[in-house]
Amino acid sequence: MAEKITRDWFDRYMVPCFAPAPFIPVRAAGSRVWDQSGKEYIDLAGGIAVNSLGHANANLAAALAEQAGKLWHIGNGYTNEPVLRLAKRLVDATFADKVFFCNSGAEANEAALKLARKYAHDRHGAHKQEIIAFTNSFHGRTLFTVTVGGQPKYSADYAPLPPGVTHLPYNDLNAVENHISDKTCAIIVEPIVGEGGVIPADPAFLAGLRTLCDRHQATLIFDEVQTGAGRTGALYAYQTYGVEPDILTSAKGLGGGFPIGAMLAKEAWAQVFQPGTHGTTFGGNPLAATVADKVLSLLDDELLQGVRERHDIIVSHLEQLNARHGVFSAVRGKGLLIGAALAERWRGKAKTLTNLAAEEGLIALIAGPDVLRFAPALDISTEELETGFARLERAVARFV
Alpha-carbon distance of 111 to 249, in angstroms, equals: 9
Report the nearest approach of ligand PLP to the CB of residue 331 (Å): 20
| 225 forms part of the interface with ligand PLP (CB under 6 A) | yes
Binding residue for ligand PLP (CB under 6 A) from 139, 317, 349, 373?
139
Cα dihedral 199, 202, 208, 210 sign: positive
Sequence ranges of the binding site for pyridoxal 5'-phosphate: 105-106, 138, 223-226, 281
| 109 forms part of the interface with ligand PLP (CB under 6 A) | yes
Closest to ligand PLP by CB, 223 or 384 = 223
Report the nearest approach of ligand PLP to the CB of residue 142 (Å): 8
Report the nearest approach of ligand PLP to the CB of residue 63 (Å): 21
| 104 forms part of the interface with ligand PLP (CB under 6 A) | yes
Closest to ligand PLP by CB, 32 or 147 = 147
Site for ligand PLP in 246-265 (CB under 6 A): 251
Q: How many CA atoms within 13 Å lie on the side-chain side of 28?
A: 23
**Residue 198: which region, alpha, beta or left (left: phi > 0; alpha: psi -120 to 50)?**
left
Closest to 77 in 3D by CA, of 263, 345, 276: 276
Strands (DSSP E) along the chain, which ranges?
A: 25-29, 32-35, 40-43, 98-102, 130-134, 165-168, 184-189, 192-193, 199-200, 219-223, 247-250, 261-265, 328-334, 337-342, 362-363, 365-366, 371-374
Closest to ligand PLP by CB, 54 or 194 = 194
| 106 forms part of the interface with ligand PLP (CB under 6 A) | yes
| 52 forms part of the interface with ligand PLP (CB under 6 A) | no
Helix, strand, coil percent content, the chain, rounded in steps of 5:
40, 20, 40
Report the nearest approach of ligand PLP to the CB of residue 137 (Å): 7
Coil, helix or strand for 99? Answer: strand
Give the range of 114-122, 220-228, 306-314, 338-346 binding ligand PLP by CB under 6 A. 220-228
Alpha-carbon distance of 9 to 18, in angstroms, equals: 13
Binding residue for ligand PLP (CB under 6 A) from 138, 236, 258, 346?
138
Q: Following DSSP, what letter does each residue of 8-21 receive, concatenated?
A: HHHHHHS-SS----
Closest to ligand PLP by CB, 113 or 321 = 113
Report the nearest approach of ligand PLP to the CB of residue 13 (Å): 22
CA dihedral 372, 377, 381, 387 (to 10 degrees): -30
| 229 forms part of the interface with ligand PLP (CB under 6 A) | no
Closest to ligand PLP by CB, 188 or 270 = 188
Site for ligand PLP in 161-190 (CB under 6 A): 190
Report the nearest approach of ligand PLP to the CB of residue 106 (Å): 3
| 226 forms part of the interface with ligand PLP (CB under 6 A) | yes
| 110 forms part of the interface with ligand PLP (CB under 6 A) | no
| 208 forms part of the interface with ligand PLP (CB under 6 A) | no
Alpha-carbon distance of 23 to 359, in angstroms, equals: 10
Report the nearest approach of ligand PLP to the CB of residue 141 (Å): 6
Residues near 249 by beta carbon (within 8 Å), at least 6 away in sequence: 105, 108, 109, 111, 112, 221, 222, 223, 224, 225, 261, 262, 263, 264
How many residues form the binding site for ligand PLP (CB under 6 A)? 14
Alpha-carbon distance of 212 to 176, in angstroms, equals: 8
Q: In this chain, which residue has its C-beta nearest to ligand PLP?
A: 105
Report the nearest approach of ligand PLP to the CB of residue 352 (Å): 22
- Interface positions with ligand PLP (CB under 6 A): 104-106, 109, 138-140, 190, 194-195, 223, 225-226, 251
